[in-house]
Amino acid sequence: MKKGLLIGLICTFLVALTACGQSNKTASGTGDASKGTETIRVVTTAGGAPFGIVNPQTNKYEGFMYDIINDLAKRANLKVDMQTAEWDALIPSLQSGKADVIVDGMYITPERQKVINFTDPVFGYGEGLIVQPGDKTTKSLEDLKGKTVGVQIGTSYKDMLDQKNKSLNLNIKTYQTTADLLKDIENKRLDAAIADSPTFTYLKSKNPGANFRVVDDYVPSLAGKIGIGVAKKNTAIVEKLNKAIAAAKKDGTIKKIYKKWGVDWNFK
């Protein structure tokens, strides 16, 4: 097993996530810095590739969601000011006025739409399941009855596991970050873990010898669409970004970004 590479990837995530409390952390964004260009304060968890991380070598934000917002900002004549925060602080950041926009793997749900606005969807996916490499039989959560399963706190996946746990008797362990969850999989403290499917498949594609098995037969319960979250008062930004999203989809830019990061979604 190429355990060293997986640990290195996890450490990259951990270094990136160390910045989560540094609300003033910025990276160069896209857009014309000339007079009249509006700056949007973008908040993200930088929680893991391929969605987004802070590269510890360059201190720059990298990931397909960042490529998307940078492209959209350029089209809309906006300048991007990136910040990091914990997952459960993203929406409060918009509500308190500390940020204008959320760029992360956040599902568009009726509950969230009550408190923030969303742009049109820019990606869609469902949760993925990973297990220990020696587990060749697990195909669903039902196969994990009585076992220890990890999940990130504050996510729809946690709510889903809580609901299903009435019959499954799982030992659910929660984590602030996907990086911490992956570390416990590597150290065999978990039998399985639930998180964003693109994150698991991306990691496995980069390191086929990683010390976990992606359950390819797993059928997600929470497939959904993600958009860019915007503060309720900023309807003008929603309109600008939606025009840019439509243009980026039409000219193929979104698909090119997907391909660059090894993901795909049929948005038609």
Indicate if 137 and 253 belong to the same structural domain: no
Range of the domain at 22: 3-124+225-260
For residue 10, tell me if it sits in a domain.
Answer: yes
Question: In whole angstroms, what is the distance from residue 24 CA to residue 99 CA?
Answer: 11
Indicate if 108 and 142 belong to the same structural domain: no
CATH code: domain of residue 189 = 3.40.190.10
For residue 251, tell me if it sits in a domain.
Answer: yes
**What is the predicted pLDDT for the residue at 203?**
86
Indicate if 33 and 119 belong to the same structural domain: yes
Q: What predicted TM-score, i.e. pTM, was given to this entire model?
A: 0.71
Query: Domain total for the chain?
Result: 2
101-138: pLDDT as tens digits: 999 999 999 999 999 999 999 999 999 999 999 999 99
**What is the predicted pLDDT for the residue at 20?**
31
Indicate if 131 and 201 belong to the same structural domain: yes
**What is the predicted pLDDT for the residue at 48?**
82
For residue 267, tell me if it sits in a domain.
Answer: no
**What is the predicted pLDDT for the residue at 230?**
97
* Residues of the chain with confidence (pLDDT) below 70: 1-36
For residue 220, tell me if it sits in a domain.
Answer: no
| H or E, element range at 157 | helix 156-168
